Amino acid sequence: MRKLHEQVRELEKEMLILGSMVTDAIENSMKALIDLDINKATSVIKNDESINNKRWEIEEKALEVIATQQPVAIELRDIIAIIHITIELERIGDHAKGIAQIVKMHGRKPHAKPLIDLPRMAQIDKEMLIESLNAFKTRDIAKAREVIKKDNLVDKLNEQIFRELLTYMIDEPRIIKRAIYLTWVSHNLERIADRITNICERIIFLVTGKLLINESGANTGKD
């Protein structure tokens, strides 16, 4: 039993390392966008391979623990939660990589509009991710629920950015392509918040054994 506990804690430690890698990817992809730094964007894309490798490494270790230690009850829920959260983290890394790829497509031409709300979205995403991982460490479902509520703010910013960029495109057709790139960035940031919501719902399930259900009775998890 002690060995199982130590192995689960090691999996958790590796998952948190992955979380730090993904947080850096979000930050660096946004810096690349703000500065139109092609080299930094290329670095984010390259580093995504390390995120992918870490995800598979954690999954393999988790499956090995299940096969060899045959955990039950809370230990099994811990391991399953770690696997699910690891998958979400890897997908968040994909969205950060997507932003970096958009930066390379955009090139060094000026942005279609001043970047105000996109950096704000990225900052909220980073805060949500850090808080969600802290909630996992402390098994704090109240904190997890607070993080979930922030997803609404990211959704509203995404909608606001789309409306503003649409206006810019109507008024100035020459910037349509660059404006579209920014809508793609906004979409990636919105999806990151969705993935973090999934992480928080997994934390709530880990602690309570119950799926988070919204008022309509449907599971609130986002694909």
What is the distance, to the nearest Å, from the Cα of residue 223 to the centroid of all Cα atoms in its chain? 12
209, containing H or E segment: none
Say which residue the tokens 């804690």 belong to: 9
Residue 222 placed within a domain: no
Task: Give pLDDT tens digits for 70-116.
Answer: 888 888 999 999 999 999 999 999 999 999 999 999 999 999 999 99
Angle at 78 between CA 4 and CA 137, to 5 degrees: 105
Residue with tokens 């629920």: 145
Provide the residue type at 194 as one letter.
D
Within-domain flag for 213: no
Most confident of 63-67, 126-130, 171-175: 126-130
Q: What is the pLDDT of residues 140-174, one digit of tens each?
A: 999 999 999 999 999 999 999 999 999 999 999 99
The pLDDT value recorded for residue 211 is 72
Selected residue with higher pLDDT from 66 and 223 = 66
Q: How many CB atoms lie within 10 A of CB 63?
A: 12
What local confidence, expressed as pLDDT, does residue 219 receive?
Answer: 52
Mean pLDDT of 190-200: 98
In a domain, 219, yes or no: no
Inside any domain, residue 131 = yes
Q: Both tokens of residue 139?
A: 């098994």
Residue 141 belongs to some domain of the structure: yes
Domain assignment of residue 221, yes or no: no
Tell me if 193 sits within 8 A of 174, measured CB to CB. Answer: no
The CATH number for 192's domain is: 1.20.58.220
Task: Give the count of domains, the chain.
Answer: 1
Q: How far is CA 69 from CA 55, 61, 103, 122, 143, in A?
A: 21, 12, 46, 40, 31
Confidence (pLDDT) at 216: 34
What is the band of 218 on the pLDDT scale with cuts at 50, 70, 90? Answer: very low
pLDDT tier for residue 220 given thresholds of 50, 70 and 90: low
The answer as to whether 195 is a domain residue is: yes
Cα distances from 154 to residues 18, 117, 120, 190, in angstroms, run: 23, 10, 9, 6
Q: Is 70 exceeded by the pLDDT of residue 217?
A: no
> Rounded to the nearest 5°, which phi and psi values hold at 222?
-115, 130
Give domain status of residue 70, yes or no: yes
Q: Can you give the residue range of the structural domain that contains 153?
A: 2-208
Torsion of CA 152, 121, 129, 156, to 10 degrees: 10
When pLDDT is averaged across residues 55-60 and rounded to a whole number, the result is: 97
Count of other CB atoms within 10 angstroms of residue 150 = 19
